[in-house]
Structure 1
Amino acid sequence: MNVRAIFIDMDGTLLKASNSISRRNMEAIYKLNNQGVKIFLATGRHYEVTTPYHKEIGLRTPMICLNGAAIHDAETGRVMQMKTVQLNEERFHQLTAESPCNVLIHTANGLYCKQTNEEIDYWTKVGKIPPRYIGDLRQANYQDVLKYSVRTDAPSPQISALFKNEAEVIDWNDGFELLAPNVSKWSAIQSLITEYKISPNEVVAIGDGPNDIEMLCHVGIGVAMGNASEKVKAAADYVTGHHENDGLAEFIERNLLKLNELYAI
């Protein structure tokens, strides 16, 4: 297999728990890039907290953000593609406003949330843009929603299932996320590889979360991190090491660099 592109998840894959990129991961990416492989980030994060890492690596490829709801140009940050989700807002807020959960609403114009937390404080520090609104979201004036995130601190499939006729649902151990129907990292990858004239069979994707499953299933080589759940690992072709042990670099070093060297001969 000739690998022409790799799509890399960020949290739990590229990044350590400290939100840093290890030297080994960085060096492996540099070597792969020098062999002509296109490197893309594909993340659930919004643009402002993706681009600092994208620049740190020195990438010039578009960024897949918010689980595929937005694709941003690397040079300008311009939105190349945006998929908004339409919910019955009154019903959504009836289900979430009085519940002991946090709600994050990512829009084309910024973040709206029920309450702040350590993660949002980190986003503000890195992205240098605070939430546009914090409080009772029934009183917020927002539009062009790209992703709803409901944090319940526990799996909540019985609640998320109520939205499956309106949205693409991603269930997490601490809640769920809602996107426009048929939107995923994979749908965004399809758009980009079509533009670059790359076959899915020439693509590698690597990640650790339920939002990565679809892309792992559809590319030429799907790679799950060692810290991924058993469901994510079952969807992958390979399982590499834990993100705290440079599992991304481990896979690149053992497989992709050697594989592409063979094709370069």
Structure 2
Amino acid sequence: MIKAAFFDIDGTSYQNDIHDSPESTKVAFKKLKELGIKISVCTSRSYPELIKLPKHYYELMDAMVCAGGAQIVVDGKLAVAHKIDSEDTKNVIELFHKYNLDYRWTSVNGENHLSTEKEDVKKIFMHFYNMTPTCKPYQGEELVHLLYYCDDPKIKEEITKCCKNSYHLVIGYANEITAKNISKSHGTVECASLFGIQPDEIVAFGDGNNDIDMLQKATIGIAMGNAKQGVKDAADYVTENIENDGLYKACEHFNWFQE
């Protein structure tokens, strides 16, 4: 029996073009919650980057797994924060500066800043998150998450070599670094455990390459119809696009609303 459901945000439960969830998704959230299922987001966004989410996320979610699994927020309070190895952080950021890579850093204390004032980077954040982190130089803070932009495979290989005690998730142009073994899938299991829920009682929904691990390790992994083929291949079930009520229809497919 499913006791916990985890939802990616962008492209899964939230449409970036309208900065809101489809009405059917809001209904699905409410119905799952009424059934006693714990519902949570699981996102690469850091917690401060959720500030512009519609209010139903804050009203309905039992928890928020953020920063690629490195942060878990329960009742508005940071319950879990996994720190990236300090030496890895130092070496990676030196490479960022060497190659003039733009990045966003998130500290264990919840600070969240961009390394740049470039308009093209700000536009990325505005499109997806409807907000832009402030710009502040990194000055040795302990970090839980790094998001950086790079499309050069050789540079990304060099960064991987620096992540000796950290997890480097190479996705494409936007890539992530978290503490060793910390990922979205780890975050779902750790978050569920806070509610006494076992790993085999988890369902996960996603659409991006950074959701693949989460979908593979959930008891039921559901890919949105708008996901890329590699994400669909990793899922147990592929539903319709987010715009076509895919999240709600997946819940109907598994008869969860009948329980």
TM-score (norm 1): 0.83
CA positional deviation for 1:177: 0.8
Show the counterpart of 1:152: 150
**Alpha carbon RMSD of aligned pairs, Å?**
2.5
Q: Mean Cα displacement is larger for which, 246-255 or 53-62?
A: 53-62
Question: What one-letter code is carried by the residue in structure 1 that aligns with 2:243?
Answer: E
Closer/same/farther in 2, CA of residues 5 and 63 from structure 1, 3 Å limit: same
Task: Judge conservation of contact 1:163–1:169 (CA < 8 Å) in 2.
Answer: no
CA contact (8 A) 2:91 2:162 kept: no
Q: Which residue of 1 aligns with 2:33?
A: 33
Partner of residue 67, structure 2:
66
1:118 is aligned to 123
Secondary structure in 1 matching 2:20: coil
Identity fraction in percent: 26
Instruction: For residue 41 of structure 1, report the CA deviation from its aligned partner.
Output: 0.9
Residue 52 (structure 1) shift:
5.0
2:7 equivalent to 1:5: no
Q: Look up the equivalent residue of 1:235 and give its one-letter code.
A: A
Question: Partners of 2:11 and 2:139 in 1: how far apart?
Answer: 33
Does the 8 Å CA contact 2:65/2:191 hold for their aligned counterparts? no
CA distance in 1, matches of 2:223, 2:252: 15
Contact kept? 1:110, 1:132, Cα under 8 Å: no
Which residue is equivalent to 2:134? 131
- TM-score by structure 2 length? 0.85
What per-residue deviation string (whole Å, max 9, x for no partner) do you get for residues 76-131 of structure 1?
x221011010244553234221425311111124123221312345689658xx42
| TM-superposed deviation, 1:195 | 2.7
User: Contact conserved, 1:28 with 1:253, CA < 8 A, in 2?
Assistant: no
Question: What is the Cα deviation at residue 55 of structure 1?
Answer: 3.6
Query: Equivalents in 1 of 2:101, 2:220: separation in Å?
Result: 37
Q: Secondary structure in 1 aligned to 2:203?
A: strand
Structural mapping, 1:209-220, within 5 Å: 209-220=208-219
The alpha carbon displacement at 1:161 in A equals 2.6
Shift of residue 54 of structure 1? 7.0
Aligned to 1:191: 190
Report if aligned partners of 1:104, 1:150 keep a CA contact under 8 Å in 2.
yes
1:163 aligns with 2:166: no
The alignment status of 1:241 with 2:240, answered yes or no, reads: yes
In structure 2, how many angstroms separate the alpha carbons of the residues matched to 1:244 and 1:162? 40
The 1-side partners of 2:129 and 2:253 are apart by 37
Take 2:203 and 2:69, find their aligned partners in 1: how far apart are those partners? 17
Once the two structures are superposed, residues 187-217 of structure 1 have per-residue CA deviations (whole angstroms, 9 ceiling, x without a partner) of 2222222232222222110112232222212
Q: Take 2:61 and 2:26, find their aligned partners in 1: how far apart are those partners?
A: 15
Residue 132 of structure 1 and its aligned partner are, at CA, apart by 5.5
Q: Which runs of 5+ in 1 are unaligned?
A: none
8 Å Cα contact 2:125-2:131 kept in structure 1:
no
- For residues 259 and 125 of structure 1, what CA distance do their matches in structure 2 show? 32
Q: Is the partner of 1:172 in helix, strand or coil? A: coil
SS in 2 for 1:20: coil
1:205 and 1:219 in contact (8 A); partners too: yes
SS of 1:233's equivalent in the other structure is helix
Tell me if the contact between 2:72 and 2:81 (Cα under 8 Å) persists in the aligned partners.
Answer: yes
Structure 2: any 5+ residue segments left out of the alignment? Answer: none
- SS of 2:182 mapped into structure 1: coil
SS across alignment from 1:162: helix
